[in-house]
Chains A and B, each alone.
Chain A
Amino acid sequence: SYVLTQPPSVSVAPGQTARITCGGNNIGSKNVHWYQQKPGQAPVLVIYYDNDRPSGIPERFSGSNSGNTATLILSRVEAGDEADYYCQVWDSGSVFGGGTKLTVL
Chain B
Amino acid sequence: EVQLVQSGAELKAPGESLKISCQGSGYTFSDYWIGWVRQVPGEGLEWMGVIYPGDSDTTYSPSFQGQVTISADKSISTAYLQWSSLKASDTAMYYCAKGGAVAGDYFDFWGQGTLVTVSS
A69 CB within 8 Å of chain B = no
- If A1-B62, A42-B112, A93-B62 touch, whether A31 touches B44 (CB-CB below 8 Å) is no
Query: How many residues on the B side are at the interface (Cβ–Cβ under 8 A)?
Result: 24
User: Which of B23-31, B45-53, B83-91 faces chain A?
Assistant: B45-53
Interface flags for A63-105 (1: CB within 8 Å of B; 0: not) read: 0000000000000000000001010101001111111000000
- If A42-B110, A42-B111 touch, whether A90 touches B45 (CB-CB below 8 Å) is no
Task: Tell me the bound Cα distance from A95 to B95 in angstroms.
Answer: 15
Flag if A94 contacts B111 (CB, 8 Å): no
Flag if B50 contacts A94 (CB, 8 Å): yes
Task: Tell me the bound Cα distance from A91 to B111 in angstroms.
Answer: 24
**CB proximity of B116 to chain A, nearest CB, Å:** 15
- If A93-B47, A99-B44 touch, whether A45 touches B108 (CB-CB below 8 Å) is yes
Flag if A45 contacts B107 (CB, 8 Å): yes
Of B35, B59, B61, B113, which contacts A42 at CB under 8 A?
A: B113
Q: Report which B residues bind A (CB closer than 8 A).
A: 35, 37, 44-47, 49-50, 59-62, 95, 97, 103-108, 110-113
Shortest 3 CB-CB contacts between residues of A and residues of B = A90-B104, A33-B106, A42-B110
A-B contact pairs, 20 of them (CB 8 A): A31-B104, A33-B107, A42-B110, A42-B112, A43-B97, A43-B110, A45-B108, A48-B106, A48-B108, A49-B106, A86-B44, A88-B107, A90-B104, A93-B47, A93-B60, A94-B47, A94-B50, A94-B104, A96-B47, A99-B44
